[in-house]
Structure 1
Amino acid sequence: MTDDTQPSIDASSTATTRRSWLKGLVASGVLSASGAVTAGAASTDIEQIGAGSIAHIQPEDGGAAPREIYATDDLSAPYPSNDWWTTLLWRPLSDNLWVHPLAARVTDSGLALTYPDEWQVGDAPYSWGPRTDDFAEVTAEPEASTNPIAPDLTVSHPDVSGETPAKVADYGDWSVTYRQTDGDASVEATLTQGSPFVYLETTGGGLDVSFDGDVSVWHERSHVLGVTIGDSHYGLFAPPGASWDGVGSDSVSSALEGAGYASIALLPEASPDVLNAFRRCAYTFVTDTTVTWEYDAERSAVVTDYAFELDAKHGNGDETLTALYPHQAKRTTDDLHDWSYVSPRGEMPALSGSGFTTELPYRGVLPFLPDVADVPNLSEHVDSVESEGTLIRDFQGDGTYWNGKNFERLLQLAPIAEQIGDEAAADRFHDAMRAELETWFSAESDGEVAATDLFWYDDVWGTLNGAPMSFGADTDLNDHHFHYGYWVKAAAELARDDPSWADENAYGGIVDLLVRDYANPDRDDDRFPFLRTFSPYAGHSWASGSGELPAGCNQESSSEAINAYAALILWGELTGDDEIRDTGIYLYTHEVHASLEYWFDIADENLPETWDYDYAAMVWGRGYKYATWFNQDPESIHAINYLPVGGHSMYLGWNSDAAAANWRELLENDGYDGSFNLGWYTDVLWEFRAFSNPGEAREWYDTDYSAGDFGESRAHTAHWIYTLDAVGSPDATVTADTACYSVFRDGTTRTYVAYNAGDAEETVSFSDGTELSVEPGATATTTRTFESLPGLSGAFPTVDGAESGEGDGNNGKSGQGNSGRQNP
C-alpha cells in the first residue's frame, strides 16, 4: 500500500523492505516498540501482529460476504463456508443440497427430498455459452434460484409457514441441522453427508409428507411405512405408538404421538428385510459428526477416524447407517453391507456403526527438485529473470491470486539459483517476495487503514480477506485455499532462507492467520472455522464458498488445492509446527487421493458411464464439467488440474499409464497436433508430459520451447523436464519416515530424495530398506540399482495408480543422479 509520502516498495529495484520501513515508523514514533499503533488509525481498526498488522474494518478495495447470515441466535462467527450445506447460511431457505446419496432443498413447501440415479453429466451441469479466449469470467450462468431438484417427497410442519426462514441451528464436520420457528411451532431437520437418513424434530405439531408422482405403499405397520415413488424407495419412521394417516393418497401425516420426532430413510431396495434393518437405526439420531486424524511417520500413513455422536430417541440403539464414498470404501477395513447407492462420485456401499476408520499412504512432498541433471543454459535462464526490472509483475490486476502466481514463479527459481551457485539471483528473488509480502502484511498507511494491498479480518463471518481479491474470494468466500496456498508456500521458502523472518514476532504470525483461515485444525478457534475449504467426508475441498448454484458446490483446480495443503506441510516443517505440518499431510493426502478418484478417475470406476470423457476438469455436487470457469479450451481444461507444477506434484505421475492416457485425451480434444495454439499453459502441459514420456518433453523443450503460465519460468521448466528425464517416474511403492521426500524409478534403478528442514543431521529410512543421511537445511539423493524390481501391479489399490507400467516412453534418460549429493 502506498501514499503520497511513501513510494512503492519493490525489492527488484531497492533493498528497502516493508520490514525496514516499519523500523523507521518505530524510530519516528508512529509505532511503539511493542508494535501498537500510536497515532492515526483507531486502535480497534488495526491489529498489530508481530512486525505486521491486519485491519478490522473493510478497506476501500475490499469486498465482503453478505451481512445477514441465516443462523439461530445461539450460533455466532466464525461460520463455516465452502461445504455442501452452506447455502443455508446465505439465504432464507436454500438452493439444492447435494447430500449424497440424497439430494434436498428447503422450499416454501417444506424439505424436498429426492434420489437422483441419473446424475447431471454431459458437457456441463448447465450451459455457459460460447468458448472465450481470454480470462474474462463467463457470465452466462443462471440465477441460483432456477433449476430446483425434482422431489420424490416433501416433508413439512402443518403449522410452520413456508416463508419461515430455515436457520442453521447446529453443524458437525459433515452434518447440519436447520430450524424453522413460527410462533410456538417449529421443525428441525438434520442432514448428514453420506447418510440415507433425514432426522426430524418438531414442537407444536406433527409432520406432513406429500409425494410427487405415483406412490405405492408396500409396507404399512402403524408407525412405519415402506413406500416407492418412481424408482426410489423410502422408509418413513414415526415414533412407536404413532401412526401415519392418509395412506393410499398422495400425502400422509402423523401427529407423532406427542414425541416430536421422526426419520425418513432412503432405502437401497424395497424389501422387508432392508426396511427392518433401517428401522433398527431409525430412532438413533445423528447429533454430531467428527473427523480426527493421525500422521504415522514410521509407516508414512494417514489414519482418519470418522465418528458419529448418536442420540437414541427410542430404545438403546448405538449404531447408524451411512454410505461411504469410493475413496473411503477402498481404504477401510470395517465391514460393509452388500447394499449400495449410486452417486456422482460412484458407488457408495453402506456401513453400520458409530464410526469407521480409513488409512491412506502419504508419499511425501519436496520443496523443490534435487540437483541431479545437467540442464543446458540454466544459468542464462536464471539470469534472464534476475535481470527483469520488476519481478512482481502485473497480470489481470493486482490481487491475492495473481500475486500468489508471482510468488510461485520466484519461489521455484530461488532454489534453482542456489543449486547453480548464483546467490545474488537467489537473494533478489527472495527479496522481491519478502518486500511484497511485507507490504501486504502491514494494514496501516499514513496513520489510517490502507485502501489497498492489505489483509483485513471480517468478524461477521470470521474470515481473513485480502484487498483486493478476485473470483468472488471476498464477496462469496470462494477459493481462499487457491489464493493463500501460494502465499503460505512463499512464506515457507522465505523461512527456509531466513528462519527469523518466519518467527511469530516477525511475520510468522500473519502467515499463521492465512493458514488458519483456509485450513484451521482447531474446531474450537474463536476466529476461524474448522478446515474452511476442506470437506472431511467428501475427502476434498470445495472452491465455492456459498454453494449458491443449482449444481451445488464445485471445485475446478484440484491441483491448486493440493498445492495449498503442500504449502502447509512445508510451512509447518520449516517452522517446527508439527500440528500444522500434520494437518497439511492429512489434507494433502486426502486431496490427492480424491483428485485421482474423481477428477482423473484413473481406475475408470467412478465417472458415470454416460460421461463422454475419462477426466473431469470440474467436480460439482451434482456432476461434472469438461470446461473451466474461464474458457472451454482443452489446454486450459487439462492444465487447470496440473498447475502449479512442483515438488508436491508427484502424484500426477504415480501411474504413468494413466498420465499418458490423460495426455492422449488432451491431444484428441485439442486437434491432435500438440501445438497448443492457445499458448497459456504450454510449459505446464509439457511438464506434465514428462511424467509419462520425459524424452518427448525434453525434445519439445530443446526444439520448440515457448513460455506459457504466468507462474512459470524457462529455468524451472528446463530443470523439471531434465530432472525427470534423469530419474524417471515417481515410484509410489516406496515410502519414507519423513515429511519431505520422494522416490523415482527408471527401469531397475531407484532414486531417493529427502529434504531435512531441521537443525541436525537426519537419517531417513525408506520402506525398501534404503537409508539416506541428510544434513540440516539440505537435500540429499542416492540411487540403488537392483537386479530386478517387481512389477508395480497390485502393490496398492487401483486408485493410487501404483500398478503403473512405464507409460508410453521411458526412453532417453540422461543419468541416474549422484549418490549422497547434498544441495540447498
Structure 2
Amino acid sequence: MKPFSHRWRAPAAVLAVALVTTALSFTMLDPAGAAPLGAGSYATSRPAGGAAPVACAGVSANPRLYVTGNAPAGAVPTNDWWSSLLYKRDNASCQFSAPLHAHPMSFQPAGDGLGVSYTTTPTISGTPTTVGEYHYPYSREFTLGVAGLSSPDVKVDGWTDWTVSPYWAGNGRTLRATIGHGLPFVYAQVTGGNAVLSFPSTPAVWVNSGNRVGFTMRGHDYVAFAPTGATWTVSGTTITSTLAGRGYLSVALLPTTTSTPAAERTALADSYATYAHRHVTGTTVSWSFNQATSSVNATYAFATTAREGSGGGTVASLYPHQWKNLASGTPITPTYVSARGPMRTLVGVSSFTTAIRFNGVLPEVPAVATSTGADLTTLGTLLDQVANGDPLAGVGNDTYWTGKGLGRAARLAEIADQLGRTTQRDRMLSAIRTRLTDWFTASAGKTQRVFAYDAAWGTLVGYPASYGSDTELNDHHFHYGYFIAAAATLARFDPGWAAQSQYGAMVNLLIRDANSWQRSDTMFPFLRDFDIYAGHDWAAGHGAFGAGNNQESSSEGMNFANALIQWGIATGQPAVRDAGLFIYTTQAQAIQEYWFDSSDSNYPAAFGHSTVGMVWGDGGAYATWFSGEPEMIQGINLLPITGGSLYLGQRPSYVNTNWDELVRNNGGQPTVWPDVLWSFRALGSGGAGDAALAAWRANPGYPPEDGETRAHTFHWLRNVAALGTVDTSVTADTPLYAVFTKNGARTYVATNATANPVTVRFSDGRTLTVAGGRTATTGAFTWSGGGGVSNPPTGGPTDPPTSNPPTSNPPTSNPPTSNPPVGSNRLLVRSGGALSTSAGGAATTVTLAAANGNWDGTPHNPATFTLCGLRGPVSGTTAFQLHVDAGGAVAQGVQARVSYDPAGTGTFSRVETYAYFATDPVPGTEAYTQAAGLRSSSGTLAAMTGGCAKLEVWNAIGNAPTTVRVDATATEGRQSTVTVPFTVS
C-alpha cells in the first residue's frame, strides 16, 4: 500500500471532513529552458504534461491575486495553517477561506467580517480500538465586522512567522484583522463605519464600562476593547462602537470557565487590558545550537505597535511543546483548551525562549553485534541478496518513490561500509550518484526526472510528481527529504560531487523549496512546510479543509530534518545543519505531544487512543489517507527507520504503550510493515529489543516495507537489541552521537564526518576518540571490518581506537546509468520486491501470508515485485512460471496478478488477474503458470516508454502460509520468472 495515496479522499475514519472541489485549471509557464546551478540545472518551465497548482479562478497562474499591495514581496507561503486564505482551492466562489485554526481561537472569514470560535468540547468518533477521530470544530460565537460591510472576498494584507492579516473591502468599508498562533487577542482596524460584534444569539454581557465590554457565549468569556474615550452599545444580538473615530479595537478571549469567580475574571480582564492596544504587528523566530551542551535554543519574538500610549509586550499562549521546554518565565495558572492540549499563557512578554536538549543522530546504528559470528554471516547473506544488483531497479519514477529507493540504497551503503564490503558500498553509492545526477540535470524537452521552478508560486516541483506534490504543493519535505538524505550519505564518500560548484547547489535548492533557512531567499518562502509556532510540518499546500491543514507522516518530516543535519555536517554548512537541528528538536517534542501524547495529557479522555495517524488543525485522527489498518496508521509515523530515528526511543515506556495498542487493535502481531514496527518496538523498555529481534528470527520470510530491506532491518534489530534503550540523560559535544543503556551499562557512539581524528566529550565525563570518517563505540563488543571502531573499556574515561579501519574512498568505477535498458522481456523474480533480468546469488523464498478467507481475484497481503524502465512495442502475451510450495498444508490456492504501467506514471492501465493455483500438500515446489487461465483483465496493452511491470502474488484461499522461490541462479534451476508481452529494448 502506498503512503499518501488518494489525497483527494477523506481519511479512513468515521468523521468526514467537508471538501469542496473546483474545476481543474492547468497553466504552463513561459518556456525558458534550463537554469544552470553548479554542475546541475533545473527547468524554468513546466515539462510537457506537467500539472500546475490547481485553484479556482485565476489563482493557479497568479497566487498573488488575493494578496494586497501591503503584503511582503517574494514567494507566497503555502503549507501553513492559514494558507486557504490565499490558496483558494476549495471555495467554489473564490471568496473567503476554510476555517483557520490558530489556537486558542479558530476563525472563518465571511462577507461581513471575521467569524470567531473557541470550542472546548470535542466531537469524537470511533472507539478506542477502531479508526476514529477527535475534533474541536469551528463553531461561530460572533463575527467581528464593520456596520454595512459587504466584501466580495477576503485578501491577505500581510503575514509574519506565525500571524496573518486578512483584509476586507466593500461598500465603502474596510476591515483589517491580525490573528495568529498563540494570540488570545484579535486585533482590528476599521474604516467607513462602526465596529460591530454580531452574535447568533443574545450574548450574556457581564461588564460594559467605558471602552470595555465583557460578554459570554457558549460559556466562553471575551472582552472587547475600544480606544480610550469610546463606549459600546449593546442591542440584542449586536454590540457596536464608534471607536471614537479612531478606527482600532481588539477582542480578547479569557482563559476562564463558568466556575471562575467573578473577581478572578475581572482581574484577568484588567491584566489583558494593559496590552489591548499594543497590537502585534510582527513575529519572528531565531535559533542557535550550543554544541558544547547539545542544546537548541529558539526565541519567539513579538513586535508590537502601540495604537495609544506607549510600551511594548503582549499576551502569548504557548503550546505544550513550548511551555514544557521554557528556558525561563512562569505562565499564569489558567489554561486554554486546544486541539493540541492545554495552552499556558505568559502576560507582558516581548519574547520567550525554549531550550531543548538534542540527543544526537547517527548516519546508521553501529554494527556492534553483527560484526562477527553467525549473525555476521546472516547479515552478509541478506546484504548480498539486495546489494549486488541495481538498488533502484523497480522503484517508481516519481519523486516520492524515487526517494524511497534512494533512501533504501543509502541504508545499504552505510551497512556495507560498516562491514568493510566496499564493493557493495560503492555499488550503492554509484547508483545514488547516477540517479541524483539525472534528476539534477534539466534539458530542453526532458519530461522525466526533472525539477522545474515555478516562479509564480515560488516552488520547485519534481516531475513525475505524485500525491499532489504538483497540483496541491503537498509533501515536498516528505519527498525531498529522501533525496537530501541520500545526498548526505554520498557526500561523506564523494565530497567532490557534493560541492556547491558541482551538485551540492541542487541539493540546497531542494532544501530551500521545502524549508528555506534563509529569510532573504527571493525564490522561496521562509520555512515553507514547517509551522514555526505549532512546532511541526503541514503536508497540504492549500490547507483548505474544514478541519484545517493536516500532516500524516511526522516521521518523514523528521527524515527531512535529519537529512539537513547530515547534509550540513557532511558539506560544512553550519547554517543548514542548525536549521535541521531546530526543526528536528522542536518537531521531536511536538511528535511526543501531538502524535503520541506520551504524557497522556493532550487527547480528549474519551478518544481512548495512545497515538494518532494524522494531526489536523482542529484535532487528530487514528486513521490515514490510505488505510484503516492499525499497522499502517501507527507505522506511517515511524518510517523510514534510519540513524535519525532514535528520537522515537526517547521515551522507552511509551514505545511499549504504542506497541500494546497496535497489537490490541490489530488483534495480534503485525503482518503489514512488520519490519518498521519491529524496529520501533526495539527502542522500548523491558527487553523490547530482544523481543523484536526474536520476532524477526521467527518470521524471516516477512514481506519488507517498500523502503526497507531485510538486511537493514536485521542490522537495526540485532544491534539495537545489544545496545539497549536510548539514554537521554547524557549528551555529547558533536551532533553525530548517541548513548544507549542496557542492564545498567552505557554504550557511547559517535561519528566523525571529518578527515582528521576528533575526541568527543560526553556530559558525564566520558571521552571517545574517533578516527576520520569513522564511527566509534565503547562497550564489550568485538569488532571486525570497516566503518567503525569498537573498543572495550580501558578503566578510564577515554577509549581510543586501537585498530586501523579501512578508509572510505569514493567509488572509482563508472556508475551505471539510471534505469539502464532492460534488454530482455524475461524477468526473474527477486527478493526485495524486484523483477530483474539478472539472477540472484542463491535461491531463497518469499512467504505469502495465509488467506484465512476467500480472496479470489482480490490481492490480500500480496508479495509485490516490480521493474521499471521498460521500453518497446507490444509483442506476444504475458507468461509466468512461479515455483510455489504449500508444504504439507491442504486446500491452499496461490494467485497472481500482472499489471503494466506504460509510461511509469503510477497508473497501471493494463491489469491481468489469473486463476488461482491449487497446491498439493506434498513438500517441494510446484510450477504455477499462466496456463491456469486468465480470470479477469482490464485495459489494453500499450507500448512501453520507460514503463513498469508489476507482479503480485497472494494466497486466495487456505489457512496456512505458502512460499514462492526467488533469487535462484540458472545453475540451481527452478527460477521464478515473468515474461512480459513487449519487444524490450
TM-score by length of 2: 0.72
Matches within 5 A, 1:334-345: 334-345=329-340
Partner Cα distance (1:42, 1:177) in 2 = 32
- 1:8-53 deviation line (CA, Å, top 9, x unaligned): xxxxxxxxxxxxxxxxxxxxxxxxxxxxxxxxx9993310111111
Q: Where does residue 149 of structure 1 map in the other structure?
A: 138
Cα-to-partner distance string for 1:763-811 (whole Å, 9 max, x where unaligned)? 11001100011111111111389xxxxxxxxxxxxxxxxxxxxxxxxxx
Q: Which residue identity lines up with residue 719 of structure 2 in the other structure?
A: T
Per the alignment, residue 535 of structure 2 pairs with 539
Give the Cα separation in 2 of the matches to 1:123 and 1:393.
Answer: 41
Which residue number corresponds to residue 322 of structure 2? 328
In the TM superposition, residue 68 of structure 1 has moved relative to its aligned partner by: 3.6
2:75 pairs with 1:78:
yes
Q: Which residue of 2 aligns with 1:32?
A: none
- Candidates 183, 186, 192, aligned match of 1:204: 192
Contact 2:151 2:171 in 1 (8 A): no
Shift in Å at residue 387 of structure 1?
3.2
Q: Does 1:347 align with 2:342?
A: yes
Deviation, structure 1 residue 159: 3.9
Residue 699 (1) aligns with residue 694 (2) = yes
- CA deviation after TM superposition for structure 1 residue 263, in Å: 0.6
Deviation at 1:148, TM superposition (A): 7.8
In structure 1, distance between residues paired with 2:430 and 2:368: 27
User: Does the Cα contact within 8 Å between 1:217 and 1:248 map onto a contact in 2?
Assistant: no
> Relative to 1, partners in 2 of residues 1:560 and 1:121: Cα closer, same or farther, differing over 3 Å?
farther
Matches within 5 A, 1:399-414: 399-414=398-413
CA contact (8 A) 1:373 1:817 kept: no
How far did residue 61 of structure 1 move?
4.2
* Superposition pairs of residues 752-767 of structure 1, within 5 angstroms: 752-767=748-763
Match of 2:937 in 1: none
Is the Cα contact below 8 Å between 1:122 and 1:610 reproduced in 2? no
Residues 514-553 of structure 1: pairs in structure 2 closer than 5 A:
514-553=510-549
Matched with 1:107 is 110
Highest relative contact order (Cα 8 Å, sep 6+), 1 or 2? 1
Q: 1:583 aligns with which of 579, 585, 603?
A: 579
- 1:62/1:466 contact within 8 Å kept: no
Contact 1:60 1:452 (8 Å CA) reproduced: no
Q: Distance in 2 between matches of 1:605 and 1:121?
A: 16
Local SS of the residue matching 1:752: strand
The one-letter code sitting in structure 2 at the alignment partner of 1:150 is S
Query: Does 2:657 align with 1:658?
Result: no
Residues 112/784 of structure 1: CA separation in 2 closer, same or farther (3 Å cut): farther
Q: What amino acid sits opposite 1:54 in the alignment?
A: Y
Paired position in structure 1 for 2:164: 176
Report the CA distance between 1:273 and its aligned residue: 1.4
Which residue number in structure 2 is paired with residue 195 of structure 1? Answer: 183
Cα–Cα, structure 1 residues 115 and 356, in superposed 2: closer, same or farther, change >3 Å? same
Contact map agreement 2:131 2:622 (CA 8 A) in 1: no
Alignment of 1:160 onto 2:149 = yes
- 2:722 is the counterpart of 1:722: no
Which of these residues, 312, 319, 327, is aligned with residue 318 of structure 1?
A: 312
Kindly tell me: are residues 695 and 820 of structure 1, through their superposed partners in 2, closer, same or farther at Cα, counting changes over 3 Å? farther
2:205 pairs with 1:217:
yes
1:373 maps onto 2:374 in alignment: no
SS of the equivalent of 2:296 reads strand
Which secondary structure state, in structure 2, belongs to the residue aligned with residue 592 of structure 1?
Answer: helix
Amino acid at match of 1:93: F
CA distance in 2, matches of 1:561, 1:621: 17
Q: CA deviation at 1:398?
A: 2.0
Q: CA deviation at 1:560?
A: 0.7
**Alignment partner for residue 98 of structure 1, among 93, 101, 115?**
101
Could you tell me whether the CA contact under 8 Å between 1:61 and 1:452 is conserved in 2?
no
Any conservation in 1 of the 2:149–2:172 contact (CA below 8 Å)?
no
Contact 1:478 1:545 in 2 (8 A): yes
Look up the equivalent residue of 2:174 and give its one-letter code: S
- Partner residue of 1:688 out of 670, 680, 689: 680
Superposition pairs of residues 111-150 of structure 1, within 5 angstroms: 111-123=114-126, 149-150=138-139
- Distance in 2 between residues matched to 1:755 and 1:381, nearest whole Å: 25
1:290 CA displacement: 0.4
Report how far residue 195 of structure 1 moved: 0.8
Find the residue that maps to 1:64 and give its secondary structure. Answer: coil
How far apart, CA to CA, are the structure 2 residues paired with 1:540 and 1:230?
Answer: 31
Matched residues, percent identical? 41
Aligned-partner Cα distance in 2 for 1:614–1:72 = 44
Alpha-carbon spacing, 1:711–1:816, altered in 2? closer, same or farther (3 Å): farther
Does structure 2 retain, via aligned residues, the 8 Å contact 1:751–1:816? no
C-alpha displacement of 1:612: 1.9
Residue identity matched to 1:221: S
SS in 1 for 2:679: helix
* 1:452 CA displacement: 2.0
- Name 1:296's counterpart in structure 2: 290
Q: Secondary structure at the match of 1:636?
A: helix
TM-aligned CA deviation for residue 372 of structure 1: 0.9
Deviations 1:280-309 (A, max 9, x none): 111100000000111011110011111000
> Whose Rg is larger?
2
Structure 1 position 709 matched with structure 2 position 724:
no
- What's the offset of the Cα at 1:734? 0.6
Number of residue pairs the alignment of both structures matches: 728
1:500 aligned onto 2:499: no
Could you tell me how far apart the structure 1 residues matched to 2:744 and 2:230 are? 70
Tell me how far 1:733 sits from its aligned partner: 0.8
Aligned-partner Cα distance in 2 for 1:449–1:295 = 44
Aligned twin of 2:249: 262
Q: How far has the Cα of 1:215 moved from its partner?
A: 1.1
Q: Aligned partners of 1:122, 1:277: CA distance in 2, in Å?
A: 39
Separation in 2 of the partners of 1:120 and 1:289? 32
2:393 alignment counterpart? 393
Query: Residue 450 of structure 2: which of 450, 454, 478 is its match?
Result: 454
Q: Does 1:554 align with 2:545?
A: no
Contact 1:219 1:272 in 2 (8 A): no
Corresponding letter in the other structure for 1:211: F
Contact 1:302 1:359 in 2 (8 A): yes
CA distance in 2, matches of 1:80, 1:741: 35
Q: Give yes or no for contact 1:85–1:547 (8 Å, CA) kept in 2.
A: yes
| Residue number in structure 2 paired with 1:632 | 628
- 1:591 & 1:257 partners in 2: Cα distance? 46
Q: Distance in 1 between matches of 2:137 and 2:698?
A: 53
Alignment RMSD (CA, Å): 2.3
Tell me how far apart the structure 2 counterparts of residues 614 and 766 of structure 1 sit (CA, whole Å).
34
1:568 to 564, 569, 575: 564
Which segment drifts farther, 374-383 or 115-124? 115-124
Q: Which amino acid aligns with 1:223?
A: N
Q: Which amino acid aligns with 2:296?
A: V
Whole-Å Cα distance in 2 between the matches of residues 110 and 189 of structure 1? 9
User: CA separation in 1, counterparts of 2:590 and 2:176?
Assistant: 32
Alpha-carbon distance in structure 2 between the residues aligned to 1:282 and 1:73: 27
Instruction: Tell me the CA shift for residue 752 of structure 1.
Output: 0.6
Name the amino acid aligned to 1:157.
Answer: V
5+ residue gaps, structure 2, are 1-28, 54-59, 89-94, 257-261, 782-789, 794-798, 809-985
User: Which moves more between the two structures, 57-66 or 82-91?
Assistant: 57-66
How many Å apart are 1:530 and its aligned residue? 0.7
